[in-house]
């Protein structure tokens, strides 16, 4: 098989060598650089990458992705699209070739979107940006997606292929909001981008606008994925919480729980609200209900606080305030297995132990 990696870049010099090293199992690597002013292009050339420079104006991610795909030779069997802040774990090519069947058009694999300081995944889900050369094109100005135009897709799954994401925390995402507004304007019935736009308003603390947009998402005919609907409900609740409309926040968290009872997120998020309001008995109830959910869904909806130390941290503090000091020690010890050496948790433990001894 002929396998090619393709990507877009702009001012990525600090990632180039690491990225190319992880992609070198491909036969060829193609990059569309959209106007770097640092050494990105010269580094690519030095490392033997096929690189073309073209400024995209006005900027759209889908246009840039499609132009980068056009660089890939027509006789390529499999195209793999990644970003410069991502790394494929070695051995990926052999696994991809083994999973790929004669009629396959696309392959999904494991994506570690967020990792801790020990390189362990915090948020993981499936990504499917390995695809056949023909029939695919990118759509949407931002949060772009691959669409297939030659009939029915044949998708294979290879979870053993792992792509890791190491984002640049200094990189601006200022273009996202206007591009999302453009995307919704172009296709107001697109449920996915309506959800993303509402979420983006929330990130910008535009609470009222976020609520309005997320409620609109919930009315769309195509908005049927319960996990995403529940996320919109949670975000509405989060906005109301920030507006100090706590009863309304509770109502939306409850709606999210009802919509997706298989997800911990709404239970933990409501528990965090009740913790801030010092309703410790309610915190305890919500955390225990969350712990009854054992299955960790592998989707982008994942909230890190639903599966890290947070639930045990909340339970330990609630137990302390409710006068159950041995239970407080028990739960803080579990929290410390997630964050060993954490000074706040260790200090809490000392306080809990003193109370338990007395």
Residue with tokens 């695919």, as numbered in its chain: 136
Q: Cis link prior to 165 (omega < 30° from 0)?
A: no
Beta carbons within 10 angstroms of residue 305's beta carbon: 18
pLDDT band for position 302 (cuts 50, 70, 90): confident
Q: CA–CA separation, 5 vs 79, rounded Å?
A: 6
The residues spanned by each domain of the chain are 3-165, 176-307
pLDDT above 80 (res 25): yes
To the nearest 10 degrees (0 to 180), the angle between helices 265-276 and 226-242 is 10
pLDDT above 90 (res 131): yes
- Any idea of the CA torsion for 181, 183, 189, 193, to the nearest 10 degrees? -80
Residue 146 pairs in a beta bridge with: 138
Q: How high does pLDDT run on average in the chain? A: 96
pLDDT for position 174? 83
Q: CA–CA separation, 226 vs 290, rounded Å?
A: 17
In CATH terms, the superfamily for domain 3-165 is Spore Coat Polysaccharide Biosynthesis Protein SpsA; Chain A (3.90.550.10)
Q: What is the mean pLDDT of residues 74-88?
A: 98
List C-alpha distances in Å: 184 to 11, 117, 188, 189, 191: 28, 36, 5, 8, 9
pLDDT band for position 170 (cuts 50, 70, 90): confident
pLDDT above 80 (res 298): no
Summary count for the chain: helices (H), strands (E): 14, 10
For 275, the enclosing helix (H) or strand (E) is helix 265-276
pLDDT for position 173? 80
pLDDT band for position 358 (cuts 50, 70, 90): confident
Q: Record the pTM.
A: 0.89
Secondary structure percentages of the chain, helix, strand, coil, to 5: 45, 20, 35
pLDDT for position 296? 85
Q: What is the mean pLDDT of residues 115-132?
A: 92
- Report angle CA 48, 49, 51 to the nearest 5 degrees: 130
133: phi then psi, degrees, rounded to nearest 5: -70, -35
Q: What is the mean pLDDT of residues 266-273?
A: 98
Residue 8 pairs in a beta bridge with: 32
Q: What is the mean pLDDT of residues 169-197?
A: 92
- CATH number of the domain located at residue range(s) 176-307 in this protein: 1.25.40.10
Task: Answer whether 3-165 and 176-307 agree in fold.
Answer: no
């Amino acid at each position: 098989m002929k396998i090619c990696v393709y990507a877009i870049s702009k001012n990525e010099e600090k990632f180039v060598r690491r990225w190319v090293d992880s992609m070198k199992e491909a036969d060829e690597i193609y990059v569309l650089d959209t106007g770097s002013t640092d050494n990105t292009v010269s580094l690519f050339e030095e490392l033997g990458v096929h690189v073309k420079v073209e400024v995209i104006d006005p900027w759209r991610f889908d246009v840039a992705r499609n132009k980068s795909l056009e660089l890939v030779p027509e006789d390529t069997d499999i195209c793999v699209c990644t970003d410069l802040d991502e790394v494929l774990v070695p051995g990926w090519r052999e696994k991809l070739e083994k999973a790929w069947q004669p009629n396959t058009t696309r392959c999904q694999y494991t994506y570690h979107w967020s990792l801790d300081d020990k390189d362990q995944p915090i948020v993981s889900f499936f990504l499917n940006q390995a695809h056949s050369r023909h029939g695919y094109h990118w759509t949407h100005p931002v949060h772009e997606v691959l669409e297939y135009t030659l009939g029915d897709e044949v998708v294979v799954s290879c979870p053993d292929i792992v792509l890791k994401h190491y984002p640049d925390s200094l990189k601006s995402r200022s273009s996202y909001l206007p591009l999302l507004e453009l995307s919704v304007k172009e296709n107001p019935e697109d449920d996915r981008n309506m959800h993303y736009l509402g979420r983006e308003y929330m990130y910008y603390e535009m609470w009222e606008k976020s609520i309005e947009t997320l409620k609109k998402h919930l009315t769309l005919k195509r908005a049927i994925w319960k996990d995403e609907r529940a996320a919109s409900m949670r975000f509405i609740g989060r906005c109301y919480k920030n507006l100090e409309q706590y009863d309304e926040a509770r109502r939306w968290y409850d709606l999210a729980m009802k919509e997706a009872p298989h997800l911990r997120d709404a239970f933990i998020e409501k528990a965090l609200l009740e913790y801030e309001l010092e309703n410790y008995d309610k915190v305890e109830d919500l955390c225990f209900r969350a712990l009854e959910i054992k299955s960790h869904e592998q989707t982008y909806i994942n909230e890190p606080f639903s599966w890290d130390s947070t639930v045990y941290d909340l339970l330990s503090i609630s137990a302390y305030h409710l006068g159950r000091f041995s239970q407080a020690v028990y739960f803080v010890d579990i929290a410390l297995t997630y964050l060993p050496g954490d000074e706040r948790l260790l200090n809490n433990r000392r306080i809990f132990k003193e109370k338990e001894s007395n």
